[in-house]
Amino acid sequence: MNTDFMDTIDAAYAKFSKGQKAIANYIKNHYDKAAFMTASRLGATVGVSESTVVRFATEIGFEGYPQLQRALKEIVRNRLTSVQRMEVTNSRLWGSDVLDKVLRMDMDTIRRTMEETDKETFYEAVAEIMDAKKIYIMGIRSAAALASFMTYYFTHIFEDVRNVDTASTSVIFEQMLRIGAEDVFIGITFPRYSKRTLKAATFAKSSGARVIAITDSRSAPIAQIADYVLVAKSDIASFVDSLVAPLSLINALIVAIGLEKKEEIAETYARLESIWDEYNVYEKTNGEQDGHDSDI
């Protein structure tokens, strides 16, 4: 539970009206449900008006109810198990058009990412990556797909890119043994935050490397030690996280770097195209058949 948030409610509890106490009690006992309720629905659930809910939010220091709801969602995403996430999703999506709802949720996470991304930090991170001697990329569990995607394209751009194998803590540090001041470590982590990613980032920092964090909040554990924090919002979509916004942010990083190194990349891809053609790497379409197709 977010201690500061709940401590604020506890400290002000005695001064609350009867209706505000009802809201406070419900939030403390059912924060996982309250996080996804509109102000009017929360009010109806506890027996107060929508305006009382809005006033409660401002009473405890938020600009309005949306900010209170956002804080509750952060608590939910950090604490819920996969089973609990399924329960939350059932209450949010049951009876609705799942395709429409999930796509709209993804659109919202990209919109919020655009609003909260610091462009100056983004371009500073781009410059730091381009100047690095070695680039270490790490993501665990669902973030591993993001790390793999970034590594795939970075290996076409840079000479020394390493996707840190996260099989065990000892293996992680063995691979990062020689990380130093000329290198960059990119840690990708979202709720529930990986302890191993944080430990690796801390080790990289202590070794003099620059640390770039790709995470969902500036209050995330890795953000506290990172030199650059790139915020990409994610949301709960059933037992999985929506990683649309983080992937879009990583796309932007790759493209930004690609534009800076366009001549080198053009040469790289010219060579790759020749190799792909020689070894029949890609299936040809009907208009490209040459009689030498292969499953290689």
- Fold agreement between 3-113 and 117-275: no
Residue 2 has pLDDT above 50, yes or no: no
Q: Residue 91 — very low, low, confident or very high, per pLDDT cuts 50/70/90?
A: low
Q: Write the CATH number of the domain with boundaries 3-113.
A: 1.10.10.10
Sequence length of the chain is 296
Residue 98 reports pLDDT greater than 80: no
Largest CA distance in the chain: 81
Q: Which residue has the higher pLDDT, 81 or 211?
A: 211
> For residue 198, is pLDDT > 70?
yes
Q: Identify the pLDDT of residue 5.
A: 72
Residue, of 17 and 6, whose pLDDT is higher: 17
Q: Residue 150: is its pLDDT beyond 50? A: yes
DSSP track, the chain: --HHHHHHHHHHGGGS-HHHHHHHHHHHH-HHHHTT--HHHHHHHHT--HHHHHHHHHHTT-SSHHHHHHHHHHHHHHH--HHHHHHHHHHHHTTS-HHHHHHHHHHHHHHHHHHH--HHHHHHHHHHHHH-SSEEEEE-TTHHHHHHHHHHHHTTT-S-EEE---S-HHHHHHHTTT--TT-EEEEE--SSPPHHHHHHHHHHHHTT-EEEEEES-TTSGGGGT-SEEEE----EETTEE--HHHHHHHHHHHHHHHHHTHHHHHHHHHHHHHHHHHTT-SPPPGGG--S-----
Provide the whole-model pTM: 0.71
pLDDT at 292: 47
The domain 117-275: what is its CATH number?
A: 3.40.50.10490
Lowest-pLDDT choice from 1-10, 53-62, 200-209, 285-294: 285-294
| Mean pLDDT, the chain, whole residue set | 86
Q: Where are the domains of the chain?
A: 3-113, 117-275
What pLDDT is stored for residue 223 in this prediction?
A: 94
pLDDT digits (tens, 9 = 90+) for 229-243: 999 987 654 556 778
Residue appearing with tokens 């990289």: 204
Q: For 192-205, what is the mean pLDDT? A: 93
